[in-house]
């Protein structure tokens, strides 16, 4: 099953994808994670996109589209995938239509106030990308990853100025995709405000029906 996760920054797409990939046994492909891994490894792509990610802007469509086109050619996508963070513009959605057929678009619905709370409290394990929240999903020992014991970090784009910009970019560039997929009839709205486990149950029920 080929699934797209849509929704504002911080709605819980990455958190849900980590749970859903185990249920469906398909890879989780996050364009944000691919960019961050390139930045961490100092690749040419990483150097090119570092400033864009830190400010909360979008990487140019041509760069992102070719990166996803390559990734979808991997053998691990044969029985499906979860795309998280792509498409994010109408041009990306149109390009994706030429690559594959999407079975379901899960649209996470969450208000701005909750988005800001989630993003400002998010912390990550740098080596694994495991996601925490200082209030709703804290590590066992404050500030440190449960598995590796490494210090948790805050993403550059989770600072207040970048969060504001990401929300504007979401409204202008990404929210129009809701109408795009409504016309196709494959979009499912999911209330992203309950716990991750409740959101997972709602998504699985929606996918089954």
Would you tell me which residues interact with ligand AP5 (CB under 6 A)? Answer: 9-15, 30-32, 35, 52-53, 56-59, 64, 85-86, 88, 92, 118, 121-122, 131-133, 136-137, 157, 166, 195-196, 199
The distance of closest approach from Cβ of residue 58 to ligand AP5 in the complex, given in angstroms and rounded to an integer, is 4
The distance of closest approach from Cβ of residue 173 to ligand AP5 in the complex, given in angstroms and rounded to an integer, is 8
Q: Which is nearer to ligand AP5, 2 or 10 (CB)?
A: 10
Three-state SS across 163-180?
A: HHHHHHHHHHHHCHHHHH
Q: Which is nearer to ligand AP5, 5 or 26 (CB)?
A: 5
The distance of closest approach from Cβ of residue 1 to ligand AP5 in the complex, given in angstroms and rounded to an integer, is 20
The distance of closest approach from Cβ of residue 208 to ligand AP5 in the complex, given in angstroms and rounded to an integer, is 20
Give the catalytic positions in this structure: 13, 88, 122, 155, 166
Rounded Cα distance, 144 and 148, in Å:
8
Q: Which is nearer to ligand AP5, 21 or 122 (CB)?
A: 122
Q: Which of 104, 133, 105 is nearest to 196 (CA)?
A: 133
Q: Give the CA distances from residue 136 to residues 36, 123, 133, 148, in Å, rounded to whole numbers and listed in that order.
A: 24, 11, 5, 20
Is 33 in contact with 129 (CB distance < 8 Å)? Answer: yes
CA 64 to chain centre: 14
Rounded Cα distance, 189 and 157, in Å:
26
Q: Which is nearer to ligand AP5, 14 or 26 (CB)?
A: 14
């Amino acid at each position: 099953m080929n699934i797209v996760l849509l929704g504002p920054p911080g709605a819980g797409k990455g958190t849900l994808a980590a749970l859903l990939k185990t249920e469906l046994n398909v890879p989780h492909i996050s364009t944000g994670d691919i960019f961050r891994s390139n930045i961490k490894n100092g690749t040419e792509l990483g150097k090119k996109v570092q400033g864009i990610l830190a400010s909360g802007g979008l990487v140019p469509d041509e760069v992102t589209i070719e990166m996803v086109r390559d990734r979808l050619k991997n053998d691990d996508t044969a029985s499906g995938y979860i795309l998280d963070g792509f498409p994010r513009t109408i041009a990306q959605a149109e390009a994706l239509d030429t690559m594959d057929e999407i079975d379901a678009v899960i649209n996470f619905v969450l208000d701005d106030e909750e988005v800001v709370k989630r993003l400002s409290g998010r912390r990550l394990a740098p080596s694994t990308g495991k996601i925490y929240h200082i209030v709703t999903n804290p590590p066992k020992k404050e500030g440190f990853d449960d598995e590796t014991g490494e210090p948790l970090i805050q993403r550059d784009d989770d600072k207040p100025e970048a969060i504001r910009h990401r929300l504007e970019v979401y409204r202008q560039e990404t929210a129009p995709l809701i109408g795009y997929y409504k016309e196709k009839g494959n979009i499912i709205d999911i209330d992203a405000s309950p716990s991750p486990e409740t959101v997972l149950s709602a998504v699985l029920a929606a996918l089954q029906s």
